[in-house]
Amino acid sequence: QVQLVESGGGLVQPGGSLRLSCAASRLIFSINTMSWYRQAPGKERELVAVITSGGTTNYEDSVKGRFTISRDNVNTVSLQMNSLKAEDTGVYYCNMKSRLSENWGQGTQVTVSS
């Protein structure tokens, strides 16, 4: 069983920045997409950003221009979050999907508050 371990969450003031990282516990072959989702209190989990094996990225409209997803190495993905807003608060989950499997991280809390 592959584990995805996220790090980098925390408390930040509005306008601040955080960088989330996610690493797989072992090699995942043929990853198709790496993604970050978030779940705000009382809301459903939503896709925030995705990067394909070919390097194509896509973002949820509210984070475009502020968040950047990157694949740091074969089994690590990061999310640079700038100009954070209160509405970015939530639990952020990493997801890695291959032809044979889909794996989720345990989530890391991001709180944007003054």
pLDDT at 82: 98
Residue 1: which pLDDT band, with cuts at 50, 70 and 90? confident
Question: What strands lie across the sheet with 18-24, from one edge to the other?
Answer: 4-7, 18-24, 76-81, 67-73
Q: Is the pLDDT at 31 greater than 90, yes or no?
A: no
Residue 98 region, left (φ>0) first, then alpha (ψ -120 to 50), else beta?
beta
Structure tokens at 11: 């408390």
Residue 114 confidence (pLDDT):
95
The pLDDT of residue 88: 98
pLDDT for the residue 98 = 93
Task: Express each pLDDT in 36-45 by its tens digit.
Answer: 999 999 999 9
Burial class (CB in 10 A: 0-12, 13-18, 19+), 17: exposed
Q: What is the pLDDT of residue 105?
A: 96
